[in-house]
Chains A and B, each alone.
Chain A
Amino acid sequence: MKVNKWLPVVAVSLLLISGCSSSSSSSSSKGKVEISLYANNQGGTEYINYLQNDVIKGFEAKNPDITVKLVKNSDPEGLAKQQLAAGGGPDVINLNGPTSAQDFAAANYLLPLDKYAEKYKWEDRYYPWAYQTVQADGKQIALPGSYETLVVYYNKDLFKQNGWDVPKSYDELTALSKKMDDKGIIPFAFGSSDFKAANEWWLSLAFNETLGVDDFKKVLTGETPWNSPEMKDAIMKLNDLWKDGYINDKQSQAITLDDATTLFMSGKAAMKMEGTWMLSTLKGSPPPFEWDVFIMPSWKDGQEANLPLALGGAVGINKNSKHPDETAKFLDWMHENENAEKLLQQGGFLPINGLKAGNLDPHVQKSFDLLNDAMENNQTGYAAWTYWPPSTETFAWSNIESVWLGQIDVDTYLEKLQKEFEKDKEKGKLFKFN
């Protein structure tokens, strides 16, 4: 029969069509609602376990009619961005921070949360500064994620053995680094070959600690140019630290972040400047020596040291979500005190009022107190990944290595930085300070 000849073709075509068609459904046959969440798998296994075992399982136990599907990815925001552009995406939008939240809101990807904010009384829950960073055009567009800062982790045993004190000024810092270098110990372990954006940790410190909180804010608002003499002073000081070999023996560009951590853990480096997110790493795999943290001293005489503050993330709801109510319920649960306290135990600080946890690891407690004291005393600066406009930020971290290696001079670097800032300003991408 002739029909038989075409039967396989028809069958294959049907198979292909059925394979190509979307099979995703957010409601299972049992009537359960499924919401999806993408999480960054680069944040360490501790965080993923916390998310899976504490947050999701806890939520599902309390809400048996809702299941949460967790998808681990190295770039959840990027993945969601692609899917959102095609009208899809997960229910929970995991964002890199307030700047991303503003961009996503401008593209109309995020559902305004005002209705839920009122229902769950979110405004009362969060620190006002953090809550306001994720607002746009008077609407609540997301909820703030963990806040973080940059501190110096140091090998306390090594300091004790050599009679070294924690530095209180830039001069003391360089003098201490020289002593370490003379002993064949790397002062600061630091590597960025696999994650060049890590260079912005140093830049955040250099600008905040040299200019101070108020003057650097003027740079971020455009009152002071990025190529001002004060900014040049900051870069020169950072450049000196690198060129003298105090930042990983002038080889930070040749090793990875993990390599740098190994140098610190093995005692080959005495200090490591990194974010408070490293607390969970050190808590999970403690080094074989006593360690502690201190605040990077001010790089300018007569000026108080400050802690560059950052909001390490934000969460919102997909505008196309079929289950916004359930998703809002999940967001509320994610940031409830019970979960926030569990995260705090790991060194993750959610900007929630009155957050306390018993039996905190002393290092976590110290960092938490340092950060909260700095916030109370208005001694928090502006970390790149939260407060700097996007093109300026990217140019800053991707080109500072060229300055260190002598491929471009400081003046050219700062001039170009100013040009990038002007571009950002023209596009309305500057951080909106309240």
Chain B
Amino acid sequence: MSADLVVMKESINVRRKNRKNWKKVIVPWLFLSPALFLIILVVAGPTIGTLVLSLTDWDGIQQPKFIGLENYQSLLSDPNFFAALGNNFKWMALFCTVPIIFALIIAYMVSKVKHGQMFYRSTFFLPQIVSTVVSAKVWAWIYNPFFGINTLLTKWGFHNVPMWLGDPAIALFSVALVDGWRYWGFLMVLILTALHQTDKSLEEAAIVEGANKMQIFWYVILPQLRPTLMLILMLTMIWSFAAFDYVFVMTNGGPGNATELISTYMYKEALQNQAPGYASSIALAMAVLSGIIIAIFGIMKKKGWEM
């Protein structure tokens, strides 16, 4: 074989190799491109749009007027925003405790059921498959002071029955109760799935060592559930900032602004108060708060918290 032929062969091999490498780089991107295109279209585009709009004074009709950071300045001195933010924190505190603890206890109990476990799982999960608006409307009727549960309570001799959705002191909790009623079944299924994946030999070892049920649950089972619980906690915290539907349908932020959340406030500013520019700054504030939560969980994970 002449030297020229060897060089030629080598050159062909290099070209083939380059072509293969090029394929390796391009083909995955080609497969990803539809999804990427959609993400750019429905996530990145609107996000950039929101960012730009938040720097404008716009009534939704006329041309937007660039006002720099004025919307953010207004946001920092807006008592309605902080009232809504306070309600979001109350909402978060409730959802990070009551439904999670409740779901954990019930899931543990259901996991011990030998026969008919599916029945309990389905029953507890049922509220999750009911449309939000339908369940919100039904609960609003239940809470109705003139036709709802109060008429029964009064008949049974209870006096001074609470105004579930009409009393600013309890309205937020009344709505949260309904959302929690729907949410806990979902959490229960997640926890139950995690419970089925725990290492049974550890429980058996603990029994051999003489641990009681409480000790087994606390020292053996719970640590194994930590990744699932941390994920639930993170999702619940993020979703608490996005909570909207139940409040919107049941109280529309009222009475007064007792159940106003950031999301409902943003909606009103955008569509009722004709201030989509200002509403965009509220939307970004929501995104930043959610980002902070994700960052905190990221740091915790880095510091060794198993997730």
Contacts and interface: CB of A to CB of B under 8 A. Distances in A.
B146 A253 contact: no
24 contacts: A81-B60, A85-B61, A103-B59, A106-B61, A107-B61, A107-B62, A194-B252, A196-B252, A250-B166, A251-B166, A253-B166, A253-B255, A254-B143, A254-B144, A254-B164, A254-B165, A254-B255, A255-B144, A255-B145, A259-B146, A401-B254, A401-B255, A405-B256, A405-B258
A84 to B, nearest CB: 8
A27 interface: no
Nearest to B275: A391
Contacts of B273: 391, 394
A104 B168 CA distance: 38
Interface of B: 59-63, 140, 143-147, 163-166, 168, 250-258, 268, 271-274
B271 A78 contact: yes
A263 B146 contact: yes
Given A103-B59, A254-B145, A407 B271 contact: no
Interface of A: 78, 81, 85, 103-104, 106-107, 109, 192-194, 196-197, 249-251, 253-256, 259, 262-263, 268, 390-391, 394, 398-399, 401-402, 405, 407
B147 A259 contact: yes
Contacts of A192: 254
Nearest to A263: B146
B13 to A, nearest CB: 22
B62 A196 contact: no
Contacts of A399: 256
Given A254-B164, A398-B268, A193 B254 contact: yes
A255 B146 contact: yes
Nearest to A106: B62
Contact of A398 (B145, B164, B168, B272): B272
Given A259-B147, A402-B256, A402-B257, A407 B168 contact: yes
A193 B62 contact: no
Contact of A193 (B165, B268, B272, B274): B165
B147 A253 contact: no
Contacts of B250: 193
Q: Looking at chain A's contact residues, is the secondary structure mostly helix, strand, loop, or mixed? A: helix
Given A103-B62, A251-B163, 9 more contacts: A104-B61, A106-B62, A193-B165, A251-B145, A253-B255, A254-B145, A255-B144, A268-B146, A394-B272
Contacts, number: 79
A407 B256 contact: yes
A107 B62 CA distance: 5
Q: Looking at chain B's contact residues, is the secondary structure mostly helix, strand, loop, or mixed? A: loop
A7 to B, nearest CB: 15
A228 B268 CA distance: 28
Contacts of A197: 272
Contacts of A193: 140, 165, 250-252, 254
B104 to A, nearest CB: 34
Nearest to B165: A254
A406 to B, nearest CB: 9
Nearest to B83: A407
Nearest to A390: B274
A106 B63 CA distance: 10
B143 to A, nearest CB: 8
Contacts of B253: 196
A268 B151 CA distance: 14
B61 A81 contact: yes
A163 B188 CA distance: 61
A406 B63 CA distance: 39
Nearest to A253: B255
A329 B256 CA distance: 46
Contacts of B255: 253-254, 401, 405
A262 B148 CA distance: 13
Contacts of A103: 59, 61-62
B137 to A, nearest CB: 10
A196 B145 CA distance: 18
A153 B272 CA distance: 29
Nearest to A268: B146
Given A81-B61, A106-B61, A251-B163, A259 B254 contact: no
A391 B268 CA distance: 12
Contact of A401 (B63, B256, B272): B256
Contacts of B258: 405, 407
A391 B163 CA distance: 31
A194 B137 CA distance: 11
A197 B144 CA distance: 20
B243 to A, nearest CB: 18
A259 B250 CA distance: 13
Most B-side CB within 10 Å, residue of A81, A253, A254, A262: A254
A196 B248 CA distance: 12
Contacts of B145: 249, 251, 254-255
A262 B147 CA distance: 10
A405 B144 contact: no
A106 B274 CA distance: 15
Across chains A and B, which 4 residue pairs bring their CB atoms closest together, nearest first?
A254-B166, A253-B255, A402-B256, A107-B61
A80 to B, nearest CB: 11
A259 B146 CA distance: 9
A15 B123 CA distance: 43
A192 B166 CA distance: 11
Contacts of A104: 61
A193 B166 CA distance: 9
